[in-house]
Amino acid sequence: MDTMNLDTINRIGAILMNRQQNLAVAESVTAGMLQVAFSSADRASEFFQGGITAYNLGQKARHLHLDPIHGQQCNCISAETACTLSENCCSFFSSHWGIGITGYASTVPEEGITELYCYYSIAADGQEIKSARITPPPGQEDPIAIRYFYTNMVIDILLDLLTNTLQKKPR
């Protein structure tokens, strides 16, 4: 799917506005697509604080306090990296909710990267509450389509988290 589900995005926005909460994102592999998605919502400025696309180790360490030794060891692709991004974007943007995502949307055979996947993390009040690894569908090789896939998966997961599994509201 090479589009974003605006209905889902608007439902997330409505829930957050009803709760008087807000959201920020720190992304790498999606290269700003989460920011585009949430800024496209109705009344986005009432719940979306903004986002940062930190594409390399230096920026992740400087702005989101990723441990540079860990980042260097894993090329910034790990569950720990996604957690650091989600938790620290909450404080960076003064937001109730934070999403962090990092991974691969294309292979880099010369560096031994032949598998595509990402890690995401969702934090509430600066504490990770959900995370996992996402793998694109078999045979999918288009980097843009893979970024859309990751973006839509995380948006769906956030909506599910907000509507079905969260009993208490942050802050």
**Has residue 51 been placed in a domain?**
yes
Q: How many CB atoms lie within 10 A of CB 4?
A: 18
pLDDT digits (tens, 9 = 90+) for 101-135: 999 999 989 988 899 999 999 999 999 999 999 99
CATH number at residue 21: 3.90.950.20
pLDDT of residue 3: 83
User: Is position 77 within any domain?
Assistant: yes
pTM (two decimals): 0.93
Q: What is the CA radius of gyration of the chain?
A: 15
171 within some domain: no
pLDDT tens column, 9-59: 999 999 999 999 999 999 999 999 999 999 999 999 999 999 999 989 898
- The whole-angstrom separation of Cα 113 and Cα 106 is 9
Within a domain: residue 169?
A: no
In a domain, 148, yes or no: yes
CB 119 within 8 A of CB 132: yes
Split into its structural domains, the chain has a count of: 1
- Whether 129 is in a domain gets the answer yes
Reference 26, options 62, 1, 50; nearest CA is 50
Structural domain span for residue 126:
6-164
Strand 23-27 and strand 97-103: the pairing is parallel
| 19 inside domain | yes
In a domain, 72, yes or no: yes
